[in-house]
């Protein structure tokens, strides 16, 4: 995800760093002991566009990237909104199958873009990270078939329905993966390029970001962007 020529400034706030202390479960913490106890890689607090607290741990430095895992979902959802504003997606109420026709006839028939982004499709899904047979574990391992659909689309198309669209929330990484594929189909751009065009370059991120791709080479809409701590702060 390419940055642009200008960096949006994050100046340090005037005055001393706040002395933060608290107790939990009978243990007293300050910032240093908290970060050490919980293996915190970076801690950043911004108020009114100024940095009031910035610390690093585990040997990290300000120019190091750190992988977000599901924070990427918020970036994908933001790009859905950008694609609606840009006219690539007609509205949040458009059927998902308009943009991913391989899902026609599956449990995603009748599911809208809004259902997908809010994880209320009614499609059955198991997000148990400790279960090697869960959907979240298996979807990313779907083999790529030559000339076929995206492997995540192929996996999601086989899932059964358990509720009416819009009636039940279930956390589903695979659905934000689908939302990312939908954005790419609608814009005819990779997620990385569209994110660079809409946010990374014009807002002024300080470093290129990295976005992990699936087995077919498409960015995982539901996971795994890597960026600096300050660029996370700029997103916030």
Separation between Cα atoms, residue 13 and residue 196, nearest integer Å: 28
- Looking up tokens 């933060």 gives 20
- In three-state secondary structure terms, 45 is strand
pTM of the model: 0.92
Q: Are 167 and 120 in contact (CB under 8 A)?
A: yes
Separation between Cα atoms, residue 220 and residue 98, nearest integer Å: 20
Digitized pLDDT (tens) for each residue of the chain, 236 residues in all: 999 999 999 999 999 889 999 999 999 999 999 999 999 999 999 999 999 999 999 999 999 999 989 999 999 999 999 999 999 999 999 999 999 999 999 999 999 999 999 999 999 999 999 999 999 999 978 777 766 678 999 999 999 999 999 999 999 999 999 999 999 999 999 999 999 999 999 999 999 999 999 888 999 999 999 999 999 999 99
Separation between Cα atoms, residue 46 and residue 53, nearest integer Å: 7
Burial (CB count within 10 angstroms: exposed 0-12, middle 13-18, buried 19+), residue 230: buried
Angle, nearest 10°, between helix axes 173-187 and 71-85? 30
């Amino acid at each position: 995800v390419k940055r642009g020529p200008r960096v949006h400034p994050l100046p340090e706030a005037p005055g001393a760093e706040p002395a933060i202390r608290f107790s939990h479960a009978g243990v007293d913490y300050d910032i240093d002991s908290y970060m050490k106890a919980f293996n915190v890689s970076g801690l950043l607090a911004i108020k009114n566009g100024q940095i009031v607290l910035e610390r690093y741990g585990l040997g990290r430095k300000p120019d190091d990237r750190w992988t977000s895992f599901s924070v990427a979902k918020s970036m994908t959802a933001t790009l859905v909104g950008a694609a609606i504003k840009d006219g690539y997606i007609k509205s949040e109420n458009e059927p998902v199958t308009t943009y991913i026709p391989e899902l026609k006839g599956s449990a995603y028939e009748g599911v809208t873009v809004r259902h997908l982004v809010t994880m209320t499709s009614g499609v059955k899904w198991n997000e148990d990270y400790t279960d090697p047979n869960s959907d979240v574990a298996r979807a990313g391992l779907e083999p790529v078939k030559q000339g076929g659909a995206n492997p995540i689309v192929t996996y999601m198309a086989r899932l059964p329905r358990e509720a009416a669209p819009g009636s039940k929330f279930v956390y589903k990484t695979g659905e934000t993966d689908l939302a990312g594929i939908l954005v790419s189909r609608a814009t005819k751009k990779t997620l990385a390029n569209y994110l660079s065009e809409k946010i990374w370059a014009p807002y002024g991120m300080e470093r290129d970001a990295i976005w992990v791709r699936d087995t077919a080479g498409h960015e995982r809409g539901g996971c795994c962007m890597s960026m600096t701590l300050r660029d996370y702060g700029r997103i916030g």
